[in-house]
Structure 1
Amino acid sequence: MVAVAISTVTLTGVNLHTRFHSSRFSSHSKRSSSTIRCQAVNGDKKKQSSSSSSRNVFDNASNLLTNLLSGGSLGNMPIAEGAVTDLFDRPLFFSLYDWFLEHGSVYKLAFGPKAFVVVSDPIVARHILRENAFSYDKGVLADILEPIMGKGLIPADLETWKQRRRVIAPGFHTSYLEAMVKLFTSCSERTVLKIDKLLEGEGYSGQKSIELDLEAEFSNLALDIIGLGVFNYDFGSVTNESPVIKAVYGTLFEAEHRSTFYIPYWKFPLARWIVPRQRKFQDDLKVINTCLDGLIRNAKESREETDVEKLQQRDYSNLKDASLLRFLVDMRGVDVDDRQLRDDLMTMLIAGHETTAAVLTWAVFLLAQNPDKMKKAQAEVDSVLGTGKPTFELLKKLQYIRLIVVEALRLYPQPPLLIRRSLKSDVLPGGHKGDKDGYTIPAGTDVFISVYNLHRSPYFWDRPDDFEPERFLVENKNEEIEGWAGFDPSRSPGALYPNEIISDFAFLPFGGGPRKCVGDQFALMESTVALTMLLQNFDVELKGTPESVELVTGATIHTKNGLWCNLRKRSFAH
């Protein structure tokens, strides 16, 4: 949820950028981003990088500038000279994949005045994220996110992060997650009832179906869950609109704008007052901050301070306010100021909302192209739940649904890139097929850990482009790869979902190491419950062909115009 949120980088004015979507606010959502046609699961990845002969003057000038300014700073590392114009045609991570196959698991990417190190290897990713984690920070990320998230977990400096992580992590304990499954179920019921009512308008016959943008519905559902689960506020966005909801989406759209605009004009003196969209952004922030400040004030007025252990032993199933905010406010010895609490809540609001909507969108997209797997999933739901509702215990029996969620995260990772910057010089491992002596990088080096490349690497996955949820049940030692422990489900006993430990960092849906996403189980369970209840109640088909679904990329991978599907009430469902 948190660490999976927003990875933004500027490349000579061309950006891999954040996209936030809701069909109800389409007037804000015109984008300059590159789009591609999704071709089944593997997209348009097979398009080859532009050859040097086809590069124009702009590309050659960019590469020359990189070589002049940073050519010798990364020693023996393979170099991939970037064709900047490629970024106008398709998402950056597709090009990073092509260059990975051409240049290896660690290479230098030359773009304009800057060079980046691209990592596509679990051995190297493990070194950066876990073994040497505190030698790296999140680099350019904080510049864009700080005006919105302040010192929240994602953009926070290392010392602030250490303090807040120690406080927030205990809040995601088992009793809280059990209570949240009930919340996930009740919020998902809103979406089911909404679709039922739309079907009733069509005559509610078994032959009737409706067309619906499921990405928008998942976005609304995720917003409601985050509001109630994190700070005890009901957005009611599945069925309503409010000034607070509009302000949330307005803030998200401004984050997108700032990550895609060539010149950071909003930093100029008086810009926040003179430029209309910046005035609106300030107004939106004020609405959200006022809402959060009120919630924090109310929580503090009813504070019941106690030890962490006692907080975790509360009867969350019968607690009127089981939110994370209540936990943070009641924790003894943590007199955090209201501004820091607000930054924490804002970070989780933005990070947790967008990611879940994306996971559910691609899970349905993949299932719709694989009717046999759709039927298998519905059969499991029928067998485990019947006409009942998901519970924490029943969630443990929904193995295939859980694997669908993680396989969707493998094929469409959220985010496709993790960004780090070295705080001091370091020696990266060579990784598979790399230099055995490794690669020396100086302090200040920007690193892209390509989660997309890791998740689709032909060296670490069999049939990496195929949608196969069952793959996570099979052990894969692959002893030919020195330094990689292979994939072993028994390595993380009791885990409901595959993770970076089981895969030895070949699977990084929520990052890894100390700065791994603090809310990963929250997000996975939320997605599992929502997908379960959708499949329990409705048959789902794509409105058009898979190729008609256009992809927009950024911090998370989304569709350009929504995931339009035909939904029909299942005859089994009540």
Structure 2
Amino acid sequence: MTDAALPAHAPLATQPLGLLGSLRAARENLLTILPEIATRQPMVSGRTGIRWHMVMEPGAIRRILLERVDDYPKSQATKNLLRPAIGESLFIAEGAHWRWQRRAAAPVFSRRNVQAMGPIMTAAATRATERIEAAGPRAVDMLDEMVRTTFDVISDVTFSGDDVFDSGAVHRAIDAYIAEAGKLSLLDMLGMPDWIPRPGRMFSGRAVAAMKTVADDAIEARRASGPRGTPDLLDLLLEGEDPETRRAMNTAELRDNLLTFIVAGHETTALTLSWALYLCAFDPEVQEKARQEAQSVLGTRTATGEDAAKLPFIRAIVDETLRLYPPAGIISRTARDHDTLCGRRVGPGDTVMIPIYALHRHHQLWDAPDAFRPERFADGAKVDRYAYLPFGDGPRVCIGASFALQEAVLVLATLLTRFRFSAVPGKSPRPVMILTLRPEGGVWLTAEPV
């Protein structure tokens, strides 16, 4: 492969969009609000209803996410969008309410617990290979297949063997909510308060309300029946408490966090795997090198949790995939106080964005930033911590990052030992972001048994 042949990327704006242009872009593909200059400058500012700043300089990002994290809470637009579905869960909560939940939930995602979930990931990877093999020589949409695979995992680790809880209905309800309500409202862009109704969120919220009732009933049933022999995510959360205050989550808090884990816990990994398979098909040399590594470790068996550390090149492919196609392509904060970033004044109420998609393709931070080069992350290569943020950073770094990375490595390694993936002509995916960065049109590949 030469760098002249680059994988799919989103066209960035070359001129100011204005309010209506920004609204149209935000509702169709949020990536297209990013100016191309954001991949070359440390900071870009403007006004679209409210004043905004895009920050791409690692030192300033460290200040936002770590040094002054309390002065940069999640933006009101983000909270308006997600609160009806996931309440005041870890993803939304701020301050003391966030801190105690984080302390209570952190042990759930300890290294020991994540490794204990390995057999569930292994079983889901095995089922995926069986489905792909049964599909025969025809093209398969690997996005659909990876969504099914990762949803199998999150269902089993959340409510294992529980007939009371319909996890598929939960996923469909939240997906429907995001499809209708997840698109940025003009009221959000104008900075209007959240007590002004957003019609799309009102209508789509009915299915979510019904789903929450079902989830509450399932949690209460488990609370009454007690933990399983092998604890699942719900058991671990029911047992969890803040080590400082001994406070435990009530039913509503458990439900909101479980819903967050169910959706985020499979959506982001499914997208990472879909894009990784696309990139392996895009670059057969990388795919073959990864296959040789996987086969040398696995032979023909399915990968297990113990194998993850023995697959460094496949992990590098996952890391490079997360650079090119970060599931959360933009994160947004609202400045709470006066500050200076990159020599520029930021005022209270300003929207401060970290456009991770642009940061990961920044010409001052990465060599050939649009090229697919897994070796950037191989053999102990050093990467600026605040130039690479697939899971955020600071105290609010994604709590499930190690879970997602282990799952992605195990599934990708298993698939590459069994199949040789090739692109389908005319079916290249288009990166589109509404809430997460998805391959529009799916990832259509042919899978030839090795």
Q: Shorter-chain TM-score: which interval?
A: 0.7 to 0.9
Is 1:211 the counterpart of 2:134 in the alignment?
Answer: no
Partner of 2:367: 462
Find out whether 1:386 has 2:299 as its counterpart: yes
Is 1:409 matched with 2:374? no
Query: Percent identity over the alignment?
Result: 29
- Deviation string for 1:143-171 (max 9, x for gaps)? 11111101111111322111100001111
Q: Is the 8 A contact 2:39 2:363 kept in 1?
A: no
Equivalent residues of 2:303, 2:411 under 8 A apart = no
What is the CA distance between 1:225 and its match in structure 2? 1.2
Please state whether the residue corresponding to 1:396 is helix, strand or coil: helix
* 1:158 maps to which of 95, 120, 125: 95
After superposition, residues 142-291 of structure 1 pair within 5 angstroms as 142-199=79-136, 209-232=137-160, 244-260=167-183, 262=185, 281-286=205-210, 288-291=211-214
* Deviation sequence 1:354-408 (CA, Å, 0-9, x none): 1111111111111111001111111111100002232222211111111100100
TM-score, length-scaled by structure 1? 0.70
3-state secondary structure, aligned to 1:541: strand
SS of 1:459's equivalent in the other structure is coil
Q: Which residue of 2 aligns with 1:350?
A: 263
In terms of fraction of residues, the more helix-rich structure is: 2
Q: Cα distance 1:343–1:424, how it changes in 2: closer, same or farther (>3 A)? A: same
* Alignment of 1:338 onto 2:277: no
Instruction: Indicate how the Cα distance of structure 1 residues 248 and 145 shifts in structure 2: closer, same or farther if over 3 A, else same.
Output: same
Look up the match of 1:509.
390
Whole-angstrom distance in 2 between the partners of 1:159 and 1:407: 35
Matched, 1:301 2:224: yes
User: For 1:549 and 1:405, how far apart are their aligned partners in 2?
Assistant: 18
Paired AA for residue 301 in structure 2: G
Partners of 1:338 and 1:243 lie apart in 2 by: 17
Q: 1:166 to 1:247 in 2, by over 3 A?
A: closer
Distance 2:159 2:114 in 1: 15
Gapped runs of 5+ residues in structure 2?
Answer: 189-193
Distance 2:208 2:38 in 1: 41
Q: 1:450 aligns with which of 336, 348, 355?
A: 355
The total of aligned residue pairs comes to 435
- Could you tell me which of 292, 296, 319 is aligned with 2:215? 292
What's 1:16 paired with?
A: none
SS in 1 for 2:127: helix
Distance 2:187 2:252 in 1: 25
The residue that corresponds to 1:50 in the other structure is 15
2:411 aligned partner: 530
Shift, 1:261, TM fit: 6.6
User: 1:441-484 CA deviation, whole Å, 9 max, x = no partner?
Assistant: 11111111011122111111112111111112367xxxxxxxxx
Residue type at the aligned position of 1:372: E
Alignment match, 1:373? 286
SS in 2 for 1:558: strand
CA distance in structure 2 between the partners assigned to 1:93 and 1:197 by the alignment: 36
Alpha-carbon spacing, 1:474–1:540, altered in 2? closer, same or farther (3 Å): closer
Structure 1 unmatched runs, 5+: 1-38, 63-81, 200-208, 236-241, 305-318, 431-437, 476-486, 489-501
Q: Which whole-Å CA distance do the structure 1 matches of 2:169 and 2:302 have between them?
A: 31
Are the aligned partners of 1:427 and 1:439 in contact in 2 as well (CA < 8 Å)? Answer: yes
Given that 1:128 and 1:136 are in contact with CA atoms closer than 8 Å, whether structure 2 keeps it comes out as yes
* Structure 2 residue corresponding to 1:114, chosen from 44, 50, 53: 50
Q: Tell me the SS of whatever aligns to 1:137.
A: coil
The counterpart of 2:344, out of the listed 417, 422, 439, is 439
Partners of 1:456 and 1:263 lie apart in 2 by 28
Task: Return the alpha-carbon distance in structure 1 between the equivalents of residues 27 and 207 of structure 2.
Answer: 35
Q: Is the 2:419–2:449 Cα contact (8 Å) retained in structure 1? A: yes
The 1-side partners of 2:278 and 2:436 are apart by: 15
- In structure 2, what residue type is equivalent to 1:392? G
Residue 125 (1) aligns with residue 5 (2): no
Change (3 A) 1:281 1:85: closer
CA-based RMSD of the aligned residues comes to 3.0
Cα deviation, residue 336, structure 1: 2.2
1:564 aligns with 2:444: yes
Any conservation in 1 of the 2:10–2:431 contact (CA below 8 Å)? no
Instruction: Give 1 or 2 for the bigger CA radius of gyration.
Output: 1
